[in-house]
Amino acid sequence: MTELEILLVILIITAVLLLAGLLVWIFIRKHRENHIVMQGGMDIDTQKSGADSGRMFRGTTEQSGGTYILQGSRKAMYHICLQEVTRGENYTARFRDSIGIGRAQNIKGMENFLTIKNDMRVSNFHCRLFAANGMIYIEDAGSKNHTEVNGQRITRPCALKNNDLIRIGNTRLRVKF
């Protein structure tokens, strides 16, 4: 092979590599432009505004008449029903991270809050339910009258199972999944 042929092969390989690099750069740039992170908007699953919850939505966008439609990473939605044993009242909750339970209407930083009225032994923020590793846990929030699961006072997070009995103050709640 002559020097001219070697130089021509090197030029062709360089041109192919430059073209491949340019195509990769265009693809990455286009892909990045379609990915957004925004505070605000509406999560159609929870019907919550991102601005209200302070949460960020991530995903790719499609523009539909000036509206950005997000499609992307969101955490799994957990459902739990707590049945008040004495009155038979059902409390249903949907959440992604955690939900507070107590007498208050809401606690800052909680995604959702389950208010238990008419039980003065329940603290304003008594305990919280949270999701981890595909399970739902309960954790006492430093309440004065403690939290029990199946008659045992909990001092650390406790995984909940169907039909577990939670006692918060004088209120007893049966877990239903």
Query: Residue 173 pLDDT > 80, yes or no?
Result: yes
**Mean pLDDT, to the nearest integer, of 148-171?**
95
Q: Where are the domains of the chain?
A: 29-73, 78-176
The pLDDT-based confidence of 143 (bands split at 50, 70, 90) is very high
Greater pLDDT, 44 or 126: 126
Query: Residue 71 pLDDT > 60, yes or no?
Result: no
Query: Residue 111 pLDDT > 50, yes or no?
Result: yes
- Looking at the structure, give the CATH architecture of the domain made up of residues 78-176: Sandwich (2.60)
CA pair distance 36, 52, nearest whole angstrom? 19
Phi/psi for 86 (5° steps) reads: -70, -50
Distances 138 to 24, 60, 150, 155 between C-alpha atoms, Å? 47, 34, 12, 10
Least Cα distance to 128 among 139, 113, 117, 120 occurs for 139
**Mean pLDDT, to the nearest integer, of 56-60?**
45
CA pair distance 132, 172, nearest whole angstrom? 24
The pTM of the full predicted model, rounded to 2 decimals, is 0.58
Judged by average pLDDT, the poorest of 6-15, 18-27, 74-83 is 74-83
pLDDT of residue 145: 93
Query: Residue 69 pLDDT > 50, yes or no?
Result: no
pLDDT of residue 90: 87
The pLDDT-based confidence of 51 (bands split at 50, 70, 90) is very low
